Structure formats: structure tokens, C-alpha cells
């Protein structure tokens, strides 16, 4: 089953100071949550889905290039903040990451318009989310997605030394 996502430019939401947009800030902004729910419901209707079913489509706010820039020009290709069932995610769900990575590689999509520094040779899209970053490998041929795969999902849980 395909994951159904709706990508929204954060610029189009009229949010001031969106550079510091966090899950907590989204949760505390009833006007923003209301706008996003309206968008979700409209998207559901356009897709032929029941807009009263809160689980689909998921809404993903994507951020413009200047927000993804890091020192030395290194960092993510695109940044996102996702909502599901009316709540802001603290990370990027893996199905979302795959969809966003693929969309970033498809010409004309909102993620493609916002993504910066994409390396055509490697096919890797680095996505920044509220908890960190992850890499998605995407292969596109003749404007069609051939594959999308997660390159890394692990993170350091503990560091230590062993003495014997």
C-alpha cells in the first residue's frame, strides 16, 4: 500500500518565525493546526478519500533551502516537520522519509522545488527533521521512481569503555 502524503510549503502557511518551528510550537498553535487540518481534509477529498478519517493523508511541512543550510554549506537537502492524526512528529516516520526523498527527486514537486544541493550521481537525499537527519537513496529513471531506500536509521544510544 502506498503511503499518502501531502507536502505543504511552510512559507505558504503565513507562519511568522517559522525558522524556529518545532513540534511543541505546532502543538501550541491552534490556528496553525486548524489550517493544516483544513489542508488535510481538502487533500483527502481531492484524493477521493473520506476527509473525516484523520489518518490519511499525512501532512508534511517542508522548509525552504535557507533553513537547511549549515556551517560550511553542509547539511540537509530539505527539512520537514510532519503531522499525523493532528499531532506533530518529533522525528520523520520512515514511510514519510521515503516519500519525501522520492518527491525531492521528481521534477516539479514541492519538495523538488525546495531541495538544495542534491547530488545527482549519488541519488542520496538528506532530510532534516526535529530529531536529526536521515539519508534516503532514490533512483529515478525517465521521471519515474525506480527505488527508494533508507541509508541509515541507527543512532548512537550509548558510548563507553570496557576494561578487563
pLDDT value for 158? 83
Question: What parts of the chain have a pLDDT lower than 70?
Answer: 1-4, 65-74, 152-155
Q: In this structure, are residues 62 and 78 in contact, taking their beta carbons and an 8 Å threshold?
A: yes
pLDDT value for 4? 63
Domains and CATH numbers, the chain: 5-152 (3.10.310.10)
Look up the pTM and report it: 0.84
pLDDT value for 71? 47
pLDDT value for 2? 46
pLDDT value for 146? 94
Amino acid at each position: 500500500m502506498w503511503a499518502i502524503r501531502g507536502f505543504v510549503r511552510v512559507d505558504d502557511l503565513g507562519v511568522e518565525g517559522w525558522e524556529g518551528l518545532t513540534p511543541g510550537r505546532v502543538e501550541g498553535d491552534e490556528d496553525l493546526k486548524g489550517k493544516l487540518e483544513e489542508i488535510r481534509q481538502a487533500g483527502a477529498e481531492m484524493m477521493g478519500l473520506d476527509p473525516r478519517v484523520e489518518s490519511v493523508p499525512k501532512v508534511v511541512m517542508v522548509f525552504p533551502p535557507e533553513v537547511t543550510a549549515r556551517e560550511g554549506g553542509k547539511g540537509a537537502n530539505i527539512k520537514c516537520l510532519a503531522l499525523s492524526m493532528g499531532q506533530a512528529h518529533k522525528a520523520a516516520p520512515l514511510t514519510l522519509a521515503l516519500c519525501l526523498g522520492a518527491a525531492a527527486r521528481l521534477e516539479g514537486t514541492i519538495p523538488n522545488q525546495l531541495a538544495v544541493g542534491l547530488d545527482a550521481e549519488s541519488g542520496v537525499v538528506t532530510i532534516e527533521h526535529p530529531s536529526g537527519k536521515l539519508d534516503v537513496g532514490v533512483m529515478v529513471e525517465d521521471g519515474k521512481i525506480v527505488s527508494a531506500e533508507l541509508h541509515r536509521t541507527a543512532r548512537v544510544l550509548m558510548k563507553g569503555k570496557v576494561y578487563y
